[in-house]
Amino acid sequence: MSRLANLSVRNGLQWRGQNKIRMLSTSAPYLLLDRNVVGKASSGEKAINCKLYDPRKGETVKSPALELTKELQMVGSSRGWVALMNESDSTVRLTDMFRPGSSAKVISMPPLIQPEERRDLIINVSLSSPPEKEEDCVVAVKFLGPYLSLCRPGDSEWTHIKAPWELKMSSVMYSDRDRVFYLNTLPSGGSGLAESGSPLVKYHQRLPCHGSPGVPKPDLDKFTLHMVESPCGELFIIWWFLGDKSEGYKTKRLMVFREDKDQGKGYYTEDIGDLCIFLGPRTDHFCVRASTYPGLVPNSIYFAGFHHSGVYDLATRSIRLHDHITSHPRLALWLAPLQSCVQI
């Protein structure tokens, strides 16, 4: 816990004027939409605030002003924490910068330089636990490409695992139930789990899926595969169908399959009960109970895609786009509710 410290200008971040604007509560999900320069700080750095969308109320809110060095870019989120990367030296910082009512914390991590000096697009970031909860938290970063990078806070360097090439578009997910990171892979003459060479990572081969309604053949080449775990440990596999460039890469359909671990199969479902699933770029996909956050629509998927976001109703297979909000494609990511608010 000694590695947790208040954010400062030295770390590249600092909150300003917290009493001048309504604080948002990260006890609920938010969608980060954009960040705007609102002035210049005494340190010479830019002062910014972030615009976020509250899906419970259908409205946008602004964060307090924040000093942020221009080299720091938001590259992912997991468990309510935000990952930032310094573009000049590739060092990584984890911060609970949207925690209400207390000073934000930061964890500094070593440069994230991939083997062969590759700096491909980051698919997503996943944490095995909230960094303030367990000192042995593991951070996983999946890039567009064959490498998954792992690091514990306090380590001097990252560990790189080379995954099968068909995993280049796969995201990484930590399973609290199984205590491993999962990567989706395509079937290759078998089913179930395959070892990665690391006890912390397993390749989850795509399960045979049953009971789904027909899908037009052209659409079968236009979906991405995602995994999410419910609060009670159920694993869901989501097929996310997108239109092509001429259609603006808009979401066309979402299909959910409930894993049957004993049979090694996934069964199509249009009923996940009180649950809501949140999907988005560079986001560690997550699932919450709608009744815990009044205003959320149960049995639905909240998604953020390329220049668009919305809600997909599983029972009616209908999409309601958030036409009244716009998001920056490089910044849009879901912030999960912070799982711990323990004062350090």
Q: If pLDDT is split at 50, 70 and 90, which confidence band does 197 have?
A: low
Please report the sign of the dihedral spanned by the C-alpha atoms of residue 23, residue 27, residue 31, residue 32.
Answer: positive
- For the segment 235-264, the average pLDDT, to the nearest whole number, is 88
Confirm whether 344 is domain-assigned.
no
What is the distance between the alpha carbons of residues 317 and 300, in angstroms, rounded to a whole number? 9
Confirm whether 63 is domain-assigned.
yes
Question: Domain limits at 76?
Answer: 5-335
Confirm whether 116 is domain-assigned.
yes
For the stretch 72-125, pLDDT in tens is: 888 999 999 999 999 889 999 998 888 776 677 889 999 998 766 555 688 899
CATH number at residue 102: 2.120.10
- For the segment 30-42, the average pLDDT, to the nearest whole number, is 76
Confirm whether 298 is domain-assigned.
yes
Please report the pLDDT score of residue 308 as a whole number: 87
Please report the pLDDT score of residue 43 as a whole number: 62
When divided into structural domains, the chain yields a total of: 1
User: Is residue 173 within 8 Å of 285, Cβ to Cβ?
Assistant: yes
Q: What is the mean pLDDT of the chain?
A: 80
Confirm whether 305 is domain-assigned.
yes
Please report the pLDDT score of residue 256 as a whole number: 95
Q: Which residue has the higher pLDDT, 307 or 283?
A: 283
For the stretch 250-280, pLDDT in tens is: 899 999 999 988 888 889 999 999 999 999 9
227 alpha carbon, distance to own chain's centre:
11
CA neighbor of 319 nearest in space, from 254, 257, 274: 254
Confirm whether 210 is domain-assigned.
yes
Strands 201-205 and 180-185: parallel
Q: If pLDDT is split at 50, 70 and 90, which confidence band does 53 have?
A: very high
Confirm whether 343 is domain-assigned.
no
Confirm whether 146 is domain-assigned.
yes
